[in-house]
Structure 1
Amino acid sequence: MEFKKEFSQIIENHGQVMNNLTRSETIEAAVKRKEALVTANGCLATWTPPESTGRAPLDTLIVKRPETESNIDWDSPNNLPVDPETFEMLWADALAVMKAKDTVFVTDRVVGADSSYALPVQLLTDRALTALFTLNMFRPVPDDIESSIFAKKDFKLLVLPYDKIDISRYEGRLRKLSNGKTSDMAIVMDFEKRAGLVYGSAYGGSVKKLIFTVMNYYLPLENILPIHCSANENDKMELSLFLGLSGTGKTTLSAVANRALLGDDEHGWSNNGIANFENGCYAKLIDLNPEKEPEIFRAVFHKDDYRSHGAIVENAMMYPDGTFDLFDDRLTPNSRASYPLTFLSNIKASSTGNHPKTIVFLTADANGVLPPVSRLNPAQAMLWFLMGYTSKLAGTETGIVDPVSTFSRFFGQPFMPCLPHIYSDMLGKKMKEHNTVVYLINTGWSGGPYGVGSRMDITLTRAMVDAALDGKLENVKYKMDRIFHLDVPVFCPGIPSDILTPENTWKDKNAYKERAIKLSLEFSDYFDKAYGNKNIDDDVRRQCPGK
């Protein structure tokens, strides 16, 4: 099947093609077609079906072809294969549906602020709002796009958010649901044919994360490390990266007045330095507090003419007067907003910068046993990069609630398709090449686990982050935490020295040791399961707690 030829034929032959409308024209089309409502402040509000209020990981598939399958870790639970024949059927069916639409929308954008590896992405969809999402999230095509390594290797993205798959054709080919029926939704990536399909998912994140995953496959093969992180730099052009799962404080700690933001989610580290993939942000809105997150709140809810605004609010509770209740999660706890980076006040317009001076791994350890700050050598950094650890709370039973350990490789497991050593080896190599220092910051509990201890005060966490970024931890003394194989400073400016060693903050020292050993064994068990048969360097293996 000639995927790209048939895709292009629709654009050339369809009777009503809205080809690269301006942003204001796209906004007007979305409103006129009743795909979104204009709110009190001028942003757009939309609501999706229940199955489209978040990602669909069990329906997110990678086409398994001989040309690409050896690069992919098929043992990872998020790398779900689909055979080429099934994808060709889905692509043909989607094209047939698209041909029958009254109107189709096309956008030509790129992913990647560094034009030397910007990936051209052409979207074909029947929804103006999906087109607007790509205008918010993907970047304009640069004048020098011909210099990109992907200039002649563009990616085609076909999106039918509200149409459902004819499941009678796909029994035994797509996922079987608990009720015995076949899933009518598919998000599929074909790395070899350079084609992607979103069929039946109206969640904006399906488009964003599909392209993120595509970049995370292509870039390592070009010696570029893709990183799920935020990035900022100071007035000396010293750049820092922040990696962390939800709830660890990544957004809060990276959005600060004295450092310009390159981007908040997806970056590449090439021989040129760091570059943001995106043109915008896709922020969670639930419980958004304008005092704690003023930048995000202002970006989404500033007042403007709707034709200029164009922030898209998904699945938030809205009153009839067009105002929102962001603390009401009855529709979903995953309400979101898409908006351009230019809506933020302190950004670096180019979204590119130098090689990082400092990288911060963020974890929120609800066990209360990890040090609040540690310095990682390359082998340690590669290990913690592989593990992507944080912990979540199991519930609110009476008494102490046992935290649930969460491991997400490279702090973004669902979007990292390649074999794990490809990413971790590249991180270690680049750290050494550019003298990059990595710190692990625990924004979680101190003095005991959740229910006994307390969450680390944000002012202390900020002081530790500032000390790390400002180089104030480079020449202090360190001691080894032998349970977790971490180098812990004995002094940090502005921080009481006793809290730097977790055991000091626990009244019951035996309870601390038991809890720490329990967590270390969870690390070891997970490592063996995820990486026991993978090509991980022995020195990195030895850094794993419990080993």
Structure 2
Amino acid sequence: MITSKKAIPELNYLFIKRANNVHYQKSVAELVEHAVINGEGSLSESGALAADTGRFTGRTPGDRFIVADELTENTVWWGDVNQRISKASFDHLFEAVGAYLSGRDIFVRDAQAGADPDYSISIRVVTETAYQNVFVNNLFIRPASTDPAARPEWSILAAPGYTCPDPARYGLHHPNFVIINFTQQVVLIAGTGYTGEIKKGIFSVMNFILPLQKRVLSMHCAANTDTAGHTALFFGLSGTGKTTLSADRDRMLVGDDEHGWSDNGIFNFEGGCYAKCVGLDEAREPEIFRAVRFGALVENIRYVPGTRLPDYDDVSKTENTRVAYPIHHILGSVTLGQASAPRDIFFLTADAFGVLPPVSLLSTTQAMYHFMSGYTAKVAGTEDGIKEPKAVFSACFGEAFLPLHPAHYAELLRERLAGSAINVWLVNTGWIAGPYGVGRRIKLAYTRAIIKAALSGVLKESTFRTHPVFGLRYPTDCPGVPEAVLDPVQLWPDACAYYAKANQLAGRFIDNFKRYGDGVSKDVLDASPVIMESASMF
């Protein structure tokens, strides 16, 4: 089916020269039909479209580049995360991708990012495949109306079938690439069919323009609220429980991943969710399980043999199986994507060293320090070669998507916390009574009790102690949690061994902060842990 020429947007500015093959603003039903006919996927038993993203089942951070020019040269935090590419290379690849998409069946969708109209951006996404366009429909905000004649602020070209024939010549590492040009306001995604690159491309854009141009704090976090307008934010890297703890039946989901914090309050960047579905079970995660219905897109899952029933435990393709669905698939969600400023903020960390208290109340500078640290730990078996816990630091809990120096975001956090009654909690969802392999992971029931007590205000009324190494203030009592669990040293059989391990982890925090150079204020540096000369002194 070919779109009427009256509904075809102007695409010459994207180097797409022929427009008789453009499917513009198609309904989900039409896109699913195209995907099935084109062999991109099949309908699962629940009605969701199941697609295979090809060779890449996750992002390839080493293949992401930013065009270095007058706008970015002195603003972008250049390094391993933000790699330079020349304007000349971008111009060649831009024209090459546009030419590749010309003459093909392509799918075009106009959408927006940012639920607050004061801070939203308009986006045009051109995809080579229909399933990618389903993803765009689900993850971005769906405007009430669109004008194909209007040129949006940002454009994305997503061409999984195009690969650069001479990568080294253009400063690339591989034939596939993601390139962001902040001046021309274009994102190129080529050689990969993984849809997460589309989502994170725009997240990186928002992480540049909102803090730099609007003084809005962009955040990689989940958010929920209640009927009284008590909003909470949940930051955390993979495996820390961000999705699980923010999905509360007694509260309303604002969004599961990307938000901004302005003078108006909290707003979702997205119009949907992109959840991991490995091990998905209706009893444990009923909201997500029920969201996998017609309109949703599941990626890289396998069926139970002889059926169209997804086998969420089958990771033969990848452990990064995903489901993308519009937020209204979650019952009770805040579909407008906006909420009041938070009253509680939770930094979630899975500390496999067994050192950090299950919960601590942070000062403003401690909040900035731990925000910039973005700490969690990987354990044996998560990656090849890991034999013992490995500290992982991802600035602002989303370093891979930060174009600016982490201190820029931390200073915006300071501004938002200044003069407020907002509580910032560091919550250890990892190990107690010893490190990984010796101790045990804290019970989810205890962590839920901690979150509940914090949200109710009860936890803040507790008596607090101060950790001698990390300087963290932690409560001595919490409803539903044994007192011994709250004090991290009590459950260790040897206090000296505990403090020696605390010193070890503190050293890793300190070493990590060195990479920020002189871009960090002294009061934030003063919130660093202090390595004690001898564990015996405790």
TM-score category by the smaller chain? over 0.9
Q: 1:54 aligns with which of 32, 53, 58?
A: 58
Secondary structure of 1:15's partner? coil
Mapping of 1:208-287 within 5 angstroms?
208-221=199-212, 222-287=214-279
Residues 400-452 of structure 1: CA deviation (Å, up to 9, x unaligned) = 95210010001111011111211000001101144321001101111111111
Name the residue aligned to 1:375.
361
Q: In structure 1, which of residues 276, 286, 294 is the aligned counterpart of residue 286 of structure 2?
A: 294
Name 2:320's counterpart in structure 1.
334
Cα distance change on mapping 1:174 and 1:317 into 2, 3 Å:
farther
**Partner amino acid for 2:518?**
K
Percentage identity across aligned positions? 38
Partners in 1 of 2:406 and 2:382 — Cα distance? 35
- Which residue matches 1:129? 131
Q: Is 351-360 or 20-29 further displaced after alignment?
A: 20-29
SS of the aligned residue for 1:30 comes to helix
Q: 1:353 to 1:162 in 2, by over 3 A?
A: same
* 1:436 and 2:440 are equivalent in the alignment: no
72, 81, 86: which is aligned to 1:78? 81
Task: Quickly say closer, same or farther: Cα 1:242–1:396, change in 2 above 3 A.
Answer: closer
Contact 2:353/2:435 (<8 A) preserved: yes
- Deviation digits for residues 25-52 of structure 1 (CA, Å, limit 9, x no counterpart): 22222222222111222111111322x1
1-structure distance, mates of 2:288, 2:217: 27
Q: Separation in 1 of the partners of 2:42 and 2:145?
A: 35
SS at match of 1:474: helix
Aligned letter for 1:173? Answer: Y
**Whole-angstrom CA distance in 1 between matches of 2:15 and 2:97:** 14
* Deviation string, structure 1 residues 229-285 (Cα, Å, up to 9, x no partner): 110011211100000011111111110111000010000001100001111111111
Equivalent pair of 2:14/2:95 in contact (CA under 8 Å): no
Q: CA deviation at 1:9?
A: 6.6
Residue 142 (structure 2) aligned to one of 123, 140, 143: 140
Structure 1 residue 539 and structure 2 residue 523: aligned? Answer: yes
Structure 2 residue aligned with 1:158: 157
Please give the alpha-carbon distance, in whole angstroms, between the structure 1 residues aligned to 2:426 and 2:407. Answer: 20
Alignment partners' CA distance in 2, 1:401 and 1:42: 42
Match in the other structure for 2:455: 469
Contact 2:15/2:94 (8 A) holds in 1: no
- Counterpart of 1:21, as a letter, is K
Which stretch of the first structure deviates more once superposed, 430-439 or 363-372?
A: 430-439
Which runs of 5 or more residues in structure 1 are unaligned? Answer: 146-150, 177-182, 303-308
Alignment partner of 2:114 out of 112, 134, 153: 112
Partners of 1:41 and 1:290 lie apart in 2 by 13
Q: Matched residues in 2 for 1:443 and 1:338: separation? A: 26
Distance across 2 between alignment mates of 1:144 and 1:490: 56
Alpha-carbon displacement from aligned partner over 1:503-526 (angstroms, at most 9, x marks no partner)? 111111111111111110111111
- The one-character-per-residue Cα deviations of 1:367-412 (angstroms, maximum 9, x if unpaired) are 1110001001110000000000011103399xx9521001000111
1:7 corresponds in structure 2 to 13
Over the aligned positions, Cα root-mean-square deviation in angstroms equals 2.1
Residues 1:395 and 1:9: Cα distance change in structure 2 (over 3 Å): closer
Deviations 1:124-156 (A, max 9, x none): 2222111111101101225799xxxxx987101
Q: Deviations over 1:452-482 (max 9, x none)?
A: 1111111111111111111112233222112
1:312 and 1:261 map into 2 onto residues whose CA distance is 20
Which residue among 410, 418, 424 is the counterpart of 1:424?
410
Alpha-carbon contact 1:362-1:440 (below 8 Å) kept: yes
CA shift for structure 1 position 341: 0.9
1: distance between equivalents of 2:171 and 2:295?
A: 36
Gaps of 5+ in 2: 1-9, 532-538
- Partner residue of 1:450 out of 430, 436, 439: 436
Secondary structure of 2:111's counterpart equals strand
Q: Distance in 1 between matches of 2:279 and 2:433?
A: 27
Note if contact 1:267-1:276 (Cα within 8 Å) is conserved in structure 2: yes
Q: In structure 1, the residue corresponding to 2:307 is in which secondary structure?
A: coil
Task: Tell me whether 1:65 sits opposite 2:69 in the alignment.
Answer: yes
Aligned residues: 516
Tell me the TM-score normalized by structure 2. 0.92
**1:112-135 deviation per Cα after TM superposition (whole angstroms, max 9, x unaligned):** 111111110101222211111110
State the distance in 2 between where 1:220 and 1:345 align.
32
Determine the C-alpha separation between the residues in 2 that align with 1:7 and 1:430: 39
One-letter amino acid of the counterpart of residue 38, structure 2 = R
Query: Is the contact made by 1:364 and 1:391 (CA closer than 8 Å) also made in structure 2?
Result: yes
The one-letter code of the counterpart of 2:20 is G
Contact 2:14 2:98 in 1 (8 A): no
The structure 2 residue matched to 1:175, chosen from 167, 172, 176, is 172
| Amino acid paired to 2:168 | E
- The code of the aligned residue for 1:160 comes to A
Question: Residue type matched to 2:301 in 1?
Answer: A
Which residue, out of 24, 29, 48, partners 1:24?
A: 29
Amino acid in structure 2 at the alignment position of 1:117: Y
CA contact (8 A) 1:156 1:196 kept: yes
Distance in structure 2 (CA, Å) of the matches to 1:186 and 1:281: 24
Worse-superposed segment, 376-385 or 447-456: 447-456
Structure 1 residue ranges, 4+ long, deviating more than 6 angstroms after superposition: none
- Distance, in Å, in 1 between the alignment partners of 2:44 and 2:11 is 40
**Could you say if the C-alpha distance between residues 175 and 10 of structure 1 is closer, same or farther in structure 2, counting changes exceeding 3 Å?**
closer
Q: Is the Cα contact below 8 Å between 1:476 and 1:490 reproduced in 2? A: yes
SS of equivalent residue, structure 1 residue 117: coil
